[in-house]
């Protein structure tokens, strides 16, 4: 069951990334491309968590993917609010 849920979260993250890519293509706004990259990274994180046993999730390097994704989200929002 664990692998099924992790796989579903992976696919959902990548689907959200595709939506943001489409919005970026239509508008050209950098915020959408940053969000797309962040959700791709989150999808890789969920996929990796499904590939390894749940007991291995306490390792520190698992959190690097989330950190990268959340920093991208924050940087995109700050960049959007700083532009004129």
- Identify the DSSP state of 52: S
Average pLDDT over residues 9-36: 94
In degrees, to the nearest 5, what angle opens at C-alpha 26 toward C-alphas 21 and 27? 100
Give the pTM. 0.85
Return d(Cα 24, Cα 29) in angstroms, integer.
Answer: 6
pLDDT digit string, tens, across residues 71-81: 999 999 999 99
The residue ranking higher by pLDDT, 12 or 84, is: 12
Q: Does 83 have pLDDT greater than 80?
A: no
What domain range is 59 assigned to? 2-82
Instruction: Indicate the number of domains in the chain.
Output: 1
């Amino acid at each position: 069951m664990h692998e099924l849920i992790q796989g579903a979260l992976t696919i959902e993250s990548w689907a959200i990334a595709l939506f943001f890519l489409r919005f970026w293509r239509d508008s050209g706004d950098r915020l959408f491309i940053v969000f797309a990259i962040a959700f791709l990274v989150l999808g890789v994180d969920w996929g990796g968590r499904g590939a390894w046993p749940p007991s291995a999730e306490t390792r520190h390097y698992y959190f690097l993917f989330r950190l990268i994704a959340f920093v991208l989200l924050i940087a995109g929002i700050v960049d959007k609010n700083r532009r004129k």
